[in-house]
Amino acid sequence: MKHVTVIVSQWQTNLSAIVGIHEVFSKANHHWKSKGKREPLKVEFARVGSAKQVSFSDGLFMVKPERHISAIMKTDLIIIPSISPRFKTNDKDNKFLLQWINDQFENGAEVASICSGAFLLASTGLLDGKRCSTHWGLADEFKARFPKVNLERDRLITDESGIYTNGGAYSFLNLLIYLVEKFYDRATAIHCAKVLQVEIERMSQSPFSIFNGQKSHGDDVVEKAQNYIESKITEKISTADLATKFSLGRRNFDRRFIRATGNTPLAYTQRVKIEAAKRLFENSRKNINEVMYSVGYSDTKAFREVFRKITGMSPIDYRSKYNKAIASI
């Protein structure tokens, strides 16, 4: 039997992930035993720090972990639920936790982070040079704090060298189903997905992301360029025109823009236009061509390709899924 350790600390922000972990693995174990097999995983909730219980929702809920992580000498899988990105790495308890995770990983344990739990995982250094996902709303902050990590902001689940990460909020259920398939089998994963009504094998969080341009970079010229792009949704804007408008050489403008926003000027412009298109699909009765023209595209094929690349869905599928008025017809 393998051992799973779920970290519970005062920095936890989401009770649902802790409950969800318990529910998913309990369902998996029950299904496994119903087939006459010995359950493969034992899940234990371990606390960090001296507090013997952790409160959530202003004290409405309390979690009482079974024991302190210092009492766990060997584990096979560590799960880090979502935490506040503001947690202090130099805090005594957290320093111990980061070292404990590193030691366990060196001894063969695998590690999974849920949503903003990636901030704690990245603080161990184990994600340096590896792929990682986190909540799309925290992507810019994560990228700024952990430049050595290969953040894949649209990816729902990453799996590399015994380290798993996932996107935001309730998508942790997709990661848990993924782990059930890894540690149990495909049939058990499908069973859990059906019982809990989780869409299996969803690998992108693109349809759920809301693009908000990164503007806390401190480069005034780039911010002016961003504002200009956002004010000209209906127009075609080239990188060369932007560079000229802001009195910079093309290569210098490109470098500054990428350094400040994490996107090329072209990619930024595409994301701004597609975000506007998404809002039109959600809130108006405009057809595909009308939306396309409204955001400055005249080539249907190009619009569809860019839309799918950014959202993971075709324009017509997105419109059908998110526009209540259209879906009810």
Are 204 and 255 members of one domain? Answer: no
CATH number, domain containing residue 44: 3.40.50.880
Same domain, 21 and 148: yes
Phi, psi at 98, each rounded to 5°: -60, -40
Domain boundary among 150, 175, 208: 208
Write b or e for each residue in 172-208: b if 16 or more Cβ atoms lie within 10 A of its Cβ, otherwise e. Answer: bbbbbbbbbbebbbeebbbbbbeeeebeeebebbbbb
Q: Answer yes or no: do 144 and 227 share one domain.
A: no
The residue among 163, 185, 208 that closes a domain is 208
Inter-residue contact 242 to 221 (CB < 8 Å): no
- In a domain, residue 214? The reply is no
For tokens 């302190």, the residue is: 68
- Do residues 201 and 246 share a domain? no
What's the token pair of residue 325? 């008025």
Report if residue 121 sits inside a domain.
yes
Could you read off the pLDDT tens digit of each residue along the chain, which spans 329 residues? 899 999 998 888 889 999 999 999 999 999 999 989 998 999 999 999 888 888 888 888 999 998 999 999 999 999 999 998 888 888 888 999 999 999 999 999 999 999 999 999 999 999 999 999 999 889 888 988 999 999 988 888 999 999 999 998 899 999 999 999 999 998 899 999 999 999 887 767 776 676 877 787 889 999 999 999 999 999 988 999 999 999 999 999 999 999 888 889 999 999 999 989 988 998 888 999 999 999 999 999 999 999 999 888 899 999 988 887 665 54
Task: Judge if 113 and 261 occupy the same domain.
Answer: no
Query: 166 in helix, strand or coil?
Result: strand
The pLDDT of residue 125: 97
Report the CATH number at residue 284.
Answer: 1.10.10.60
Q: 125 and 154 share a domain? A: yes
User: Which secondary-structure segment (H or E) carries 41?
Assistant: strand 41-47
User: What is the side-by-side strand order in the sheet with 67-68?
Assistant: 67-68, 41-47, 2-8, 77-80, 110-113, 163-166, 157-160
215 part of a folded domain: no
* pLDDT for res 218: 86
pLDDT tens track for 61-117: 999 998 999 999 999 999 999 998 888 888 888 999 999 999 999 999 999 999 999
> Of 168, 185, 208, which residue sits at a domain end?
208
Residues 142 and 103 in one domain: yes
What's the CA gap between 178 and 23, in Å, rounded? 14
pLDDT for residue 191: 93
**Domain presence at residue 147:** yes
Q: What is the pLDDT of residue 132?
A: 95
Whether 69 is covered by a domain: the verdict is yes
C-beta atoms surrounding 137 within 10 Å: 17
Residues 260 and 309 in one domain: yes
Residue with tokens 């259920």: 173
182 inside domain? yes
- The answer to the question of residue 100 being in a domain is yes
Predicted local distance difference test score (pLDDT) of residue 79: 97
Nearest to 223 by CA among 257, 186, 264: 257
In the chain, what is the greatest distance between 2 CA atoms, to the nearest angstrom?
A: 73
Helix (H, G, I), strand (E, B) or coil at 262: coil
**Residue 130 lies in domain:** 2-208
**DSSP character at residue 298:** -
User: Cβ distance 101 to 6 under 8 Å?
Assistant: no
In-domain check, residue 162: yes
Domain shared by 250 and 290, yes or no = yes
Q: Of 180, 213, 212, nearest to 194 (Cα)?
A: 180
Q: How far apart are the first and last CA of the chain?
A: 52
Are the CB atoms for 66 and 46 separated by under 8 Å? yes
Q: What is the pLDDT of residue 328?
A: 52
Same domain, 240 and 197: no
Give residue 325's pLDDT.
67
Residues 202, 225: one domain?
no
pLDDT at position 91: 87
Number of domains in the chain: 2
Q: In terms of domains, do 97 and 129 share one?
A: yes
